[in-house]
Amino acid sequence: MKNIKQLAKDAIDVQYACNLLGVSKSFAKAVDELYESNDCKGMKECFEHPIITLWLNKMCQLNGCQYEMRNKVITAFCEVDDMAKD
């Protein structure tokens, strides 16, 4: 299982992906691992986590609906970037 730093790096890396099918398959695993981590205290908190926001942003971008989430994504990106740093 990945730790929060690894999950954060994956969320940053996925922003450069171009295949919605690949992203969606990896997203399911990321949600499971984040939920099992100590970084979430429940399902709602996990689903609203900034790491999840970045994954959803990428899927929305690949679907064409990205701009509806713009402000939330900017905040999430900054938070996840901090998590991914050494």
pLDDT higher than 80, residue 13: yes
For residue 75, what is the DSSP state? H
The total domain count for the chain is 1
> What does the pLDDT look like over 21-64, one tens digit per residue?
999 999 999 999 999 988 888 889 999 999 999 999 899 999 88
**pTM (whole model) above 0.75:** yes
Residue 39's pLDDT is 84
Structure-block tokens of residue 25: 């398959």
Q: How many Cβ atoms sit within 10 Å of the Cβ of residue 6? A: 15
Which domain does 37 fall in, by range? 4-84
